[in-house]
């Protein structure tokens, strides 16, 4: 089976549901995937893409030039679709709409990892950018929403979505839609096994909280700073710290977060590592005592499937998460931490409960590994995706 894979993210691929799922696990099942996109480093030689060929061009300066180059590259590759069994379009709504005009519909699959029209609509209502910019976002939300739910969803051969909640969202907004398969975020047990044994020496009286992911205004990441300040005030016998493994989605987001640290008098209590390769990020996050995953409730994130909560447990870390559906189910199945509403006192009390039962939560996190392998490993998810693609071709 040969796939043409048109992606929105920069290349080389770093997201595990691209690099591991398509680049490695589907290839092990005989699926060759040629990935198409722009590279973040202009002029750099393509890094090895294990799934097949990487077809890329350097990232031009400016978002308009980037969008035009991506569209031109997509159109060129769609004209060569006869060499592929399936065309998979990931999160590129306009490209998917055009593909349905250029390619036999039975070959076009849309992969929806995030509800971008809904995100644009939410950002358009935030007073963090100028009025003209927000008007543009609102217009884009309406146009891409119409294309996705009125054109792409009803006509694609299949839709892959992030969660059952996302499938319900699509079904509620599309008058009719293709068959859908939820594929949540997972992890690679082999990558966990490849990590060297943990050698951290705990500091008596110190509890380090950790977050793995992007620092993004729309995700209300400063909520964790407010929680940190609250638990420090409640338990002055414990030196609570926060490790942020990641960087801002934009320099503006990073600067905003640093200002919030100062405002809440948390200087010296919060460390931001910046962007790290996955294995290095995992090494750093293993140094914490409790992993945190806070995802604001609402139409944008209720349908998500956060990687970080799965990764914390796979690495043997207790977790405190908020109550979006995917995380509720994960915590109910493993009991390796707590699930609480995204409210400062409720979430802070959940952290204190885990602190008071830290060894028990650690033990349950370790015991959850077999459950995670059976439900969320990329081998299991690759089997699911491969089966759906095979059913498409055999229909």
For each of the chain's 395 residues, which pLDDT tens digit applies?
999 999 998 898 988 899 999 999 999 999 999 999 998 765 444 458 999 999 998 888 888 888 888 999 999 999 988 999 999 999 999 999 999 999 999 999 999 999 999 999 988 887 667 788 889 999 999 999 999 999 999 999 999 999 999 999 999 999 889 899 999 999 999 888 888 776 667 788 999 999 999 888 888 999 999 999 999 999 999 999 999 999 887 888 889 899 999 999 999 999 999 989 888 999 999 999 999 999 999 988 899 988 899 999 999 999 999 999 999 999 999 999 999 999 999 999 999 999 999 999 999 999 999 999 999 999 999 999 999 999 999 87
State pLDDT tens for residues 263-293.
999 999 999 999 898 889 999 999 999 999 9
For 43, phi then psi, to 5°, come to: 80, -5
Whole-angstrom distance, CA of residue 319 vs CA of residue 46? 37
Q: How many CB atoms sit inside 10 A of residue 193's CB? A: 7
Residues written for the chain? 395
Give the pLDDT confidence of 104-160 residue by residue, as tens digits.
999 999 999 999 999 999 888 876 677 888 899 999 999 999 999 999 999 999 999
Give the long-range contacts of residues 265-271, CB within 8 A, separation 24 or more: 265/229, 266/225, 266/228, 266/229, 266/242, 269/228, 269/232, 269/240, 269/241, 269/242, 270/225, 270/228, 270/241, 270/242, 270/243, 270/244, 271/241, 271/242, 271/243, 271/244
Exposure string of 236-258, with b = 16+ CB inside 10 Å and e = fewer, is eeeebbbbbbbbbbeeebbebbe
Q: Which helix (H) or strand (E) holds 299?
A: none
For 290, phi and psi rounded to 5 degrees?
-140, 130
Contacts of residue 332, defined as CB under 8 A and 6 or more positions apart, other chains included, come to 339
User: Same topology for domains 2-186+377-394 and 189-375, yes or no?
Assistant: yes
At 98 the three-state DSSP class reads: helix
Residues 35, 32: Cα–Cα separation, whole Å: 10
Residue linked to tokens 């035009």: 68
Q: What is the residue extent of each domain of the chain? A: 2-186+377-394, 189-375
pLDDT of residue 351: 98
pLDDT of residue 214: 87
By the 8 A CB rule, do 119 and 169 touch? no
Write the class of the CATH domain 189-375: alpha beta
The answer regarding whether domain 2-186+377-394 maps to CATH 3.40.50.2000 reads yes
Tell me, what DSSP letter sits at residue 203? P
Assess contact for 163 and 304: CB atoms under 8 A. Answer: yes
- Average pLDDT over all residues of the chain: 92
In this predicted structure, what is the pLDDT of residue 195? 85
């Amino acid at each position: 089976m040969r796939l043409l894979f048109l992606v929105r993210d920069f290349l080389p691929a770093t997201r595990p549901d691209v690099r591991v799922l398509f680049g490695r696990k589907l290839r092990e099942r005989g699926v060759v995937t040629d990935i198409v996109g722009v590279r973040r480093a202009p002029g750099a030689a393509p890094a090895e893409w294990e799934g097949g060929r990487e077809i890329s061009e350097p990232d031009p300066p400016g978002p308009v030039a980037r969008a035009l180059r991506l569209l031109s590259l997509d159109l060129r590759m769609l004209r060569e679709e006869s060499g592929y069994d399936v065309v998979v379009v990931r999160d590129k709504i306009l490209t998917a709409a055009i593909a349905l005009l250029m390619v036999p519909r039975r070959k076009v699959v849309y992969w929806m990892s995030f509800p971008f029209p809904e995100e644009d609509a939410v950002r358009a209502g935030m007073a963090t950018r100028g009025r003209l910019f927000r008007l543009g976002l609102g217009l884009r939300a309406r146009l891409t929403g119409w294309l996705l739910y009125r054109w792409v969803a009803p006509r694609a051969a299949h839709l892959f979505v992030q969660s059952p909640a996302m499938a319900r969202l699509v079904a509620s907004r599309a008058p009719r839609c293709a068959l859908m398969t939820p594929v949540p975020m997972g992890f690679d047990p082999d990558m966990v096994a490849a990590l060297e044994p943990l050698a951290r020496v705990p500091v008596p009286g110190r509890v380090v909280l950790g977050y793995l992911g992007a620092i993004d205004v729309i995700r209300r990441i400063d909520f964790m700073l407010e929680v940190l300040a609250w638990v420090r005030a409640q338990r002055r016998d414990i030196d609570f710290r926060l490790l942020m493994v990641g960087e801002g989605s934009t320099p503006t987001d990073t600067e905003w977060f640093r200002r919030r640290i100062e405002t809440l008098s948390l200087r010296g209590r919060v460390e931001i590592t910046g962007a790290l390769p996955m294995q290095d990020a995992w090494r750093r996050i293993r140094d914490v005592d409790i992993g945190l995953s806070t995802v604001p409730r609402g139409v944008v994130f209720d349908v998500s499937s956060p990687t970080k909560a799965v990764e914390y447990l796979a690495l043997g870390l207790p977790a405190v998460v908020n109550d979006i559906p995917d995380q509720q189910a994960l915590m109910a199945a493993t009991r390796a931490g707590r699930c609480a509403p995204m409210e400062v006192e409720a979430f802070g009390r959940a952290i204190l409960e885990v602190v008071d039962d830290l060894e028990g939560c650690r033990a349950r996190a370790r015991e959850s590994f077999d459950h995670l392998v059976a439900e969320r490993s990329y081998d299991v998810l690759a089997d699911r995706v491969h089966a759906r693609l095979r059913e498409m071709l055999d229909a």
